[in-house]
């Protein structure tokens, strides 16, 4: 018989985060100052961080709580849309932005109502779960991340920012301040995801933006989530579609091409093969809808 020590048993029943210090800055400047000096982790909504603390995947000395910083919570509209890092999912889910309709659609599919009430876009982006929803959207739309530290500001393209599962281009002391997304006016946009159970992370998700002129594809952006180490931009499929009409044959070839370079995991939610099939179907049916509408 395996004997579980009493203390271990207790941990299994109820999970507590490890001992940790806490800092609540009054401004972003104060947060950057603190992060420069101390071994600390940013806390935004906590919807990914607190579960990780409970599992002891992370053991920072301090948490720097930027969740209440008003200066980081905003949506500014211009030719580019600028979104503050601590803007909450529900705020994005309840705002239709012209030329960026896809963001509302993606935000309203994150987790559940309670998670959307607390979780932030910056937190989701920095957490970089390989099945998260925003990274695919930001990759498809060539968004730019504005990163701040005490030393200064730098900008990173989405394509370079997402480095792998739970890994982004952020150095110690750096905070994601803002996400900038170009406004794609005149594009049809859609974000769709397939889940096994309500509230699950995506088995596969598709971000699609397409510009048609008399039925001919002028521009198209396709990125998937859940099918690789990070967001998967389907360049091959884009190539098939560009300057073509959305005929049955073109759609079929684009869907087949979309899996080129994808490397989906096999896990309890679905096999790698199944995820590839879901990808093709997602793209095919989305394109069919758009072809019928035009």
Ligand X SMILES: Cc1cc2nc3c(=O)[nH]c(=O)nc-3n(C[C@H](O)[C@H](O)[C@H](O)COP(=O)(O)OP(=O)(O)OC[C@H]3O[C@@H](n4cnc5c(N)ncnc54)[C@H](O)[C@@H]3O)c2cc1C
Closest contact distance (angstroms) between CB of 197 and other proteins is 9
Q: What is the DSSP track for 114-152?
A: HHHHH-BHHHHHHHT-TT-SHHHHHHHTT-EEEEEETTE
Rg (CA), the chain: 20
The entry of ligand X, other proteins, none near residue 198 (CB within 5 to 8 angstroms by kind) is other proteins
H/E run at residue 82: strand 80-84
Nearer to ligand X, 111 or 264 (CB): 111
How many CB atoms sit inside 10 A of residue 7's CB?
A: 7
The entry of other proteins, ligand X, none near residue 17 (CB within 5 to 8 angstroms by kind) is other proteins
Among 87, 124, 139, 255, binds ligand X (CB under 6 A): 124
Among 21, 164, 165, 261, binds other proteins (CB under 8 A): 21
Closest contact distance (angstroms) between CB of 88 and other proteins is 9
H/E run at residue 158: helix 158-161
Q: Is 23 in the site for other proteins (CB under 8 A)?
A: yes
For other proteins, what does the binding mask look like between residues 166 and 205, x meaning CB under 8 A?
A: --------------------------------xx------
Please give the structure tokens belonging to residue 33.
């100052």
CB burial readout 279-291, b (16+ within 10 A) else e: bbebbbebbeebb
Q: Which residues here bind ligand X, judged by CB under 6 A?
A: 41-49, 85, 110-111, 115, 119-120, 122-124, 126-127, 132-133, 170, 175-176, 199, 201
């Amino acid at each position: 018989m395996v004997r579980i020590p009493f203390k271990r048993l207790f941990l299994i029943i109820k999970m507590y985060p490890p001992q940790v210090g806490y800092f609540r800055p009054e401004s972003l400047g104060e947060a950057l100052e603190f992060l420069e000096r101390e071994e600390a982790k940013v806390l935004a909504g906590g919807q990914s961080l607190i579960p990780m603390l409970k599992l002891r995947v992370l053991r920072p000395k301090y948490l720097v709580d930027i969740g209440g910083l008003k200066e980081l919570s905003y949506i500014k509209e211009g030719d580019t849309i600028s979104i503050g890092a601590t803007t909450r999912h529900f705020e994005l889910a309840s705002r239709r932005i012209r030329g960026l309709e896809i963001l509302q659609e993606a935000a309203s599919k994150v987790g559940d109502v309670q998670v959307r009430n607390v979780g932030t876009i910056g937190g989701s982006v920095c957490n970089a779960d390989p099945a998260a929803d925003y990274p695919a959207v930001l990759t498809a739309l060539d968004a730019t991340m504005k990163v701040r530290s005490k030393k200064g500001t730098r900008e990173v393209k989405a394509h370079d920012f997402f480095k792998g599962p739970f890994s982004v281009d952020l150095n110690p002391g750096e905070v994601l301040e803002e996400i900038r997304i170009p406004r794609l006016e005149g594009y049809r946009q859609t974000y769709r995801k397939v889940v096994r159970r309500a509230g699950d992370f995506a088995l596969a998700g598709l971000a699609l933006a397409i510009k048609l002129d008399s039925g001919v594809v002028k521009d198209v952006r396709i990125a998937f989530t859940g099918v690789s180490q990070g967001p998967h931009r389907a360049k091959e499929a884009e190539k098939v579609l560009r300057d073509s009409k959305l005929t049955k044959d073109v759609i079929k070839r684009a869907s087949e091409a979309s899996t080129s370079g994808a490397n989906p995991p096999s896990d309890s939610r679905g096999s790698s093969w199944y995820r590839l099939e879901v990808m093709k179907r997602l793209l095919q049916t989305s394109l069919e809808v758009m072809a019928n509408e035009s």
